[in-house]
Structure 1
Amino acid sequence: MRVGVVQSWLGSRYLSFWKAYLQALGVEVVYPKTGPKLPLPPPIQQVVSEVLSLKNEPVDYLLLPDVQLGVEAQRGTPPLWLVDLAASLDQLISGLPPALVVPAELSPEVVGLAAQIGQSLVKNPMLVRRALERTKGYLAPSYKAPLQAGTHLVGLIAQPMLTQEGEWLQTLRTGLEAQGLSLFLADRPPAELRQEGAHLGLGLELPTDLEAAGMHRYLLRLGKVQALLYVHDPEYLPLPAPLRRALRKTPPSKPWRMVGLEADWSRVGLELSRGRAG
């Protein structure tokens, strides 16, 4: 039995448990290699490339994250990429292995789902119990703030899938550094950022929308952050509409820019360094 895992798309938040648990079950965990590139924005291209690589291995299952933690939008129609990675990939790539969809966050409540998935994979209740006993310690919520340094800090507000280290984030960081600026990521646990977002009273439902709004509230009041960068892509990873309306109604007190996924980051950095907004 071989299960492929994607390392992008918030992989750093949930894979520590699932890798250990699957291995304790005797399941082979398969990691993506460099896959073919498609004409897609870099963050989308990254996860698609990983999945194409895993499909070609091949694997029996794909372990994919539910970034909305089981919450469904009751108002509006968010882009599929924002709410259902498995369905988005199925639309783009034919013949994918079945998906094992798990929350993109760890907590003790995941034990029940883990037991169900384990039983479906190995058909051995005793092995499943032993594997859970050995690995359930990984389910304790933990957060390690990213190590960040530099001066002239620019805070990033975006859907959290964009804040994980990777090629796209490094390209953004390099572009800002060319203008003497340093990228700064909100250094608070996701749950705290969601609480921050809820305090804005924007009526947001989806956890990632609340987290993005929380980044805005937190970074706006953080004195050492001198400018704000909002990344909004309406097709794949939009910022919540109520937050964008709030920005138009009451612009931030710091220099700020709202741009798409494929902006010229050096130029954006130049505009921020000159104090331009909008």
Structure 2
Amino acid sequence: MKVGLLESRAARLGGYWAAYLKELGVEIVTPSLPDAEALALGQESLKGESLPVQLALGRILALDGVDAVLMPQWAPVQGDAWSEALGELLSRRISGLPNMIPVPDGGEGLESAAAEVGLRLSQNAGGVRLALERARIHAAGPRQEMPPLSVASRVTVGVIGPRTLLAEDVLGGELRAALDALGLHAVYSHELPLPEVLKRAERMQGADTAPAGERELFGAVSMLSGKGAVRGLIFAAPARDGASHAAVQRLAAQQHKPSMVITVDAGEAEAGTGSWPELEAFRDRITLGAAARAAAPEGSA
């Protein structure tokens, strides 16, 4: 049986699912196109949808001859139908897609979900139990450490946005390059240690019922806004993603530090029109403020 594993730099447990499928003896198929070509393919088919959706579709279309596709679930925000039912919605919009199986990207139900998937793919209960035992070592995902909050001669900004945007170089790489060119040291929300992010998210009003993506964004903002080295906050949302844009707008409105919201569109960036001139003004705002504080005479107010 050939099974496609939807590649995603945003998925935390891609290594777990790859190891599990290998232990099951399933043939794993990965996309045959580079990310930039997969994105372009998805944009042709779903012109009006957000970048992460277009990229996911392009990667699925680049899977050759698969019987099913495992799709690590995204952390949704309020009103985000795509994250909650990506495979189902894609199948409604695009005919002829393979059978798509959503799988968790962590959490307490990971192993039970993996067992169900294993039985569905192999029909071998003994093989599933053995595969679960051997793949368990990967279930914690990669270890994350707190990224450096300061770099010599650079002012630090926190960049907050959906993991599905910032973790993908083909989507967030242009923003990363723009911030670097402006001489800013950017600390990205998806690079923060998730356990600490989720612990901070417990302070969120209505945390018990808030969507997972909202908790991640809130926890990341809470961590970065409290750091003295972080002079400003940039909130990023993918183009044509109203739910994510609304989520970061709500968070930006609550901040006391200098903040701004930007929209990221890979198509515009590739065409040379996605340079975000507003970032330069924001850089000057927080850099001049930091320079003024550093130059103030000792003992001055």
Q: TM-score range by the shorter chain?
A: 0.7 to 0.9
Q: Match of 2:278, as an amino acid?
A: V
Structure 2: 5+ residue runs without aligned partners?
269-273, 287-301
Q: Return closer, same or farther for 1:133/1:198 CA change in 2, 3 Å cut-off.
A: closer
1:40-90 deviations in Å (ceiling 9; x for gaps)? 554333222111111xx021001012224xx9x9xxx61322322212322
Query: In structure 1, what is the Cα distance between the partners aligned to 2:225 and 2:211?
Result: 21
**More moved, 185-194 vs 152-161:** 185-194
Query: In structure 2, what is the Cα distance between the partners aligned to 1:241 and 1:179?
Result: 27
Q: Return closer, same or farther for 1:255/1:52 CA change in 2, 3 Å cut-off.
A: same
Q: Match of 1:97, as an amino acid?
A: P
Query: In structure 1, what is the Cα distance between the partners aligned to 2:134 and 2:262?
Result: 45
Query: In structure 2, what is the Cα distance between the partners aligned to 1:163 and 1:66?
Result: 16
1:117-168 deviations in Å (ceiling 9; x for gaps)? 1111111112212222222221235532376674322211112222314212
TM, length-normalised to structure 1: 0.82
Taking the TM superposition and a 5 Å limit, the aligned residue runs for 1:241-260 are: 241=246, 244-245=249-250, 247-248=252-253, 250=254, 252-260=255-263
Query: In structure 2, what is the Cα distance between the partners aligned to 1:53 and 1:146?
Result: 35
Deviation at 1:185, TM superposition (A): 1.2
Query: In structure 2, what is the Cα distance between the partners aligned to 1:85 and 1:146?
Result: 31
Identity %: 26
Structure 1 counterpart of 2:178: 175
Contact 1:194 1:210 in 2 (8 A): yes
SS at match of 1:200: coil
Rg larger for: 2
Structure 1 counterpart of 2:241: 236
Query: In structure 1, what is the Cα distance between the partners aligned to 2:276 and 2:240?
Result: 23
* Structure 1 position 23 matched with structure 2 position 26: no
1:190-236 deviations in Å (ceiling 9; x for gaps)? 24323323313255610111101112111111222222111235843
Query: In structure 1, what is the Cα distance between the partners aligned to 2:239 and 2:171?
Result: 17
SS at match of 1:275: helix
SS at match of 1:205: coil
Structure 2 counterpart of 1:65: 72
Deviation at 1:188, TM superposition (A): 3.0
Contact 1:157 1:216 in 2 (8 A): yes
SS at match of 1:120: helix
Contact 2:16 2:141 in 1 (8 A): no
Once superposed, what is the RMSD of the aligned Cα atoms?
Answer: 2.8
Q: Return closer, same or farther for 1:105/1:129 CA change in 2, 3 Å cut-off.
A: same
Q: Match of 2:223, as an amino acid?
A: Y
SS at match of 1:183: strand
Deviation at 1:189, TM superposition (A): 2.6
Contact 1:195 1:210 in 2 (8 A): no
Q: Return closer, same or farther for 1:234/1:49 CA change in 2, 3 Å cut-off.
A: closer
Structure 1: 5+ residue runs without aligned partners?
none
**More moved, 57-66 vs 237-246:** 237-246
Q: Match of 1:65, as an amino acid?
A: P
Q: Return closer, same or farther for 1:42/1:66 CA change in 2, 3 Å cut-off.
A: closer
Q: Match of 1:115, as an amino acid?
A: A
